[in-house]
Amino acid sequence: MSETGGSAQPRPTSSGPGRVLVAVYAIFALSATARALVQIVGRFSEAPVAYLLSLLAGVVYILATIGLAGRKPLHRRLAWAAVGFELAGVLIVGTLTVIDAGDFPDDTVWSFFGRGYGFIPLVLPFVGLWWLRRTRLPEP
């Protein structure tokens, strides 16, 4: 990266350790979306809210993967939005499932703060936001 004036480009989020993050997001995008599609195609009427939420989570992971893997400024904005949404999603859905408010679905990636996925869904957005912040400026 050039150090001369005017080219204070952010570092690519998909470089170095960022590649590991992209790989983890890609796996979650794949598994969450596949799971949601199976639920929606197979037994949508059983729990429509949970299954739509599953699909939403899958789409958010796909957008986060695209955002983190890309190198354009638009990708970075997409990644911020998707990872931020992911953090809100896991916290809200996680809290609602723990306090058992109403008939809230137990059957999504974010239920019980991602317990069914080794709590990775809870940790991942924090790592994602930290990485986006860290790569905001060129390497000194």
Which residue number, 96 or 115, has a Cβ lying nearer to another protein?
115
From 33-41, 44-52, 90-98, 104-112, give the range in contact with another protein by CB under 8 A: 33-41
Does residue 101 interact with another protein by CB under 8 A? no
Does residue 17 interact with another protein by CB under 8 A? yes
Question: 125: buried, middle or exposed (CB in 10 Å: 19+, 13-18, 0-12)?
Answer: buried
How many angstroms separate the first and last alpha carbons of the chain? 9
Question: Which of 1, 8, 23, 92 is in the footprint of another protein by CB under 8 A?
Answer: 23
Minimum distance from residue 73 beta carbon to another protein (Å): 20
Minimum distance from residue 20 beta carbon to another protein (Å): 5
Minimum distance from residue 31 beta carbon to another protein (Å): 7
Q: For 45-81, what is the HEC assignment?
A: HHCHHHHHHHHHHHHHHHHHHHHHHCCCHHHHHHHHH
- Counting residues that bind another protein (by CB under 8 A) gives 17
Residue type, 25: Y
**Quick check: 50 and 108 in contact, CB under 8 A?**
yes
Minimum distance from residue 56 beta carbon to another protein (Å): 19
Question: 73: buried, middle or exposed (CB in 10 Å: 19+, 13-18, 0-12)?
Answer: exposed
Contacts with another protein, residue ranges (CB under 8 A): 15-17, 19-20, 22-24, 26-27, 30-31, 34, 37-38, 41-42
